[in-house]
């Protein structure tokens, strides 16, 4: 009956939280090109790329509440081909967005029974980027419910609430009072959860009658570290146990899935350092050639009405957050410190600003800060308490959250720039 963990963390910066919740609510619950159940399933696919059980569990419940087919929760082999075709762009966006080309866009938009419209694809791309970046924030702030992350001092992992965090405000803004008052779980909510459990259990029994359920015995630590693969022959039975275990118990505890392999293909595909050797300079993304302000904003707003304004407000909001104490510790102006973090994150994805001296990054950001930022940005599932303890001692709690908000927004914008540029090239 408490405020959802992401909301609690972002609540240290309430103006940003207002902006985030409005965007989240619009993406998931307002009119748009994609059906509501598909939106939550795309969020599941995106979160699974980073093994973020916290977001997967939250959107599994929301998917069912939106009337989604529980059979889809058995894995990618049980969803419509149109949705499954999104897997490739999801994988690339999550780990190496610079590899996205207009050919990937063309493949999804080509005329066929399972083709996407431009508006649908833009909505899907924004959802993917949003959830990838949010996974970084979840791991970075310790919201991921994982016993291995339980020793983070004041950043304790919390279970996701029974509501999507944007539902707490229904898109109408968030007040300080809301951040202080815990939600009370209603009888209706408990009854709804019981109904969902009964529905899923019935399907589980029916599935059991059609095929023999297989027992999967895997080493827990190995599964968390590498995400053990589950073969196609195992996915039908394994998927049932995944989404059965994802629903909150009546007392609010959540039993998370130990393996999310049924929601992804090619699990070994991950981030690789963007090469900056001379022969690869043609792949460098130069902001003066394609920027959010001059190109991305207008394209996304034209194809998915109003989302451009909400995203732009969110980007500007995180840039305007006060960080004087944090910057003072680093011996620089707040704007200089924030730009150093932002440009460092973009640099890891091959995005370069010609008017920026990248030597400043090494001057402004100490080594452990850079290690932390890179881990949370590029492979957040590898964030551990040792990194946390070695870096976070010098910052206040609100400053820790601020750094993670910068990571969230810089990463999301980087993914969007690559995807929108590829869409633009396709349209030319």
Within its chain, how far is the Cα of 88 from the centroid?
16
Average pLDDT over residues 234-240: 34
Extents of the domains making up the chain: 1-145+260-427
Is 38 designated active site? no
Q: How confident is the model at residue 341 (pLDDT cuts 50, 70, 90)?
A: very high
Note the pLDDT tens digit of each residue in 300-332.
999 999 999 999 999 999 988 876 677 777 677
Of the candidates 191, 250, 159, 183, the residue with the CA atom closest to the CA atom of residue 1: 183
Sequence-distant (6+) residues with CB within 8 A of 361 are 340, 343, 344, 347, 370
CA 427 to chain centre: 27
Q: Which of 16, 27, 46 is nearest to 123 (CA)?
A: 27
The two structure tokens encoding residue 200:
């899923």
> Are 236 and 207 contacting, i.e. CB atoms less than 8 angstroms apart?
yes
Both tokens of 334, joined, read 């707040």
**Residue 197 pLDDT level (bands cut at 50, 70, 90):** low
What separation, in Å, do the N-terminal and C-terminal C-alpha atoms of the chain show?
A: 51
* pLDDT value for 167: 58
Asked whether the whole model's pTM tops 0.85, one would answer: no
- Strand, helix or coil for residue 352: strand
**How far lies 228's CA from each of 17, 21, 218, in Å?**
35, 34, 8
Give the number of other CB atoms < 10 A from CB of residue 285.
18
| pLDDT, mean over the chain | 77
What would the two tokens of residue 18 be? 């207002």
172 alpha-carbon distance from chain centroid? 22
Token pair 């999801």 is found at 90
Considering only CA atoms, which of 71, 97, 57, 76 is closest in space to residue 229? 76
Structure tokens given for 215: 């027992």
């Amino acid at each position: 009956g408490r405020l959802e963990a992401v909301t609690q963390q972002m609540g240290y910066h309430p103006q940003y939280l207002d902006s985030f919740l409005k965007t989240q609510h619009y993406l998931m619950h307002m009119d748009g090109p994609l059906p509501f159940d598909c939106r939550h399933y795309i969020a599941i696919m995106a979160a699974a790329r980073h093994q973020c059980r916290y977001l997967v569990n939250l959107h599994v419940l929301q998917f069912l509440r939106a009337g989604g087919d529980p059979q889809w929760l058995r894995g990618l082999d049980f969803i419509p081909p149109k949705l499954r075709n999104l897997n490739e762009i999801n994988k690339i966006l999550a780990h190496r967005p610079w590899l996205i080309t207009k050919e990937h866009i063309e493949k999804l938009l080509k005329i066929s029974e399972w083709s996407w419209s431009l508006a649908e694809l833009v909505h899907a791309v924004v959802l993917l980027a949003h959830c990838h970046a949010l996974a970084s924030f979840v791991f970075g702030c310790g919201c991921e419910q994982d016993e291995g992350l339980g020793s983070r001092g004041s950043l304790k992992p919390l279970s996701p609430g029974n509501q999507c965090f944007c539902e707490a405000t229904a898109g109408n803004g968030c007040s300080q009072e809301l951040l202080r008052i815990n939600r009370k779980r209603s009888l209706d909510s408990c009854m709804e959860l019981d109904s969902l459990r009964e529905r899923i259990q019935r399907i589980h029994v029916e599935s059991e009658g059609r095929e023999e359920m297989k027992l999967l015995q895997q080493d827990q630590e190995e599964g968390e570290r590498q995400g053990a693969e589950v073969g196609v022959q195992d996915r039908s039975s394994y998927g049932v146990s995944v989404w059965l275990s994802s629903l909150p118990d009546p007392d609010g505890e959540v039993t998370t899935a130990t393996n999310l392999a049924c929601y992804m293909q090619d699990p070994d595909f991950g981030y690789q350092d963007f090469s900056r050797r001379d022969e690869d300079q043609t792949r460098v993304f130069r902001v003066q050639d394609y920027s959010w302000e001059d190109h991305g904003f207008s394209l996304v707003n034209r194809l998915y009405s109003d989302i451009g304004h909400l995203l732009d407000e969110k980007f500007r909001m995180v840039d305007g957050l006060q960080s004087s104490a944090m910057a003072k510790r680093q011996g620089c102006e707040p704007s200089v410190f924030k730009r150093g973090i932002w440009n460092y994150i973009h640099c890891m994805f091959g995005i370069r600003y010609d008017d920026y001296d990248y030597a400043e990054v090494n001057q402004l950001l100490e080594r452990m800060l850079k290690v932390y930022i890179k881990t949370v940005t590029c492979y957040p599932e590898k964030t551990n308490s040792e990194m946390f303890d070695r870096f976070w001692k010098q910052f206040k709690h609100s400053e820790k959250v601020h750094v993670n908000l910068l990571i969230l927004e810089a990463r999301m914008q980087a993914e969007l720039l690559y995807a929108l540029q590829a869409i633009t090239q396709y349209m030319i």
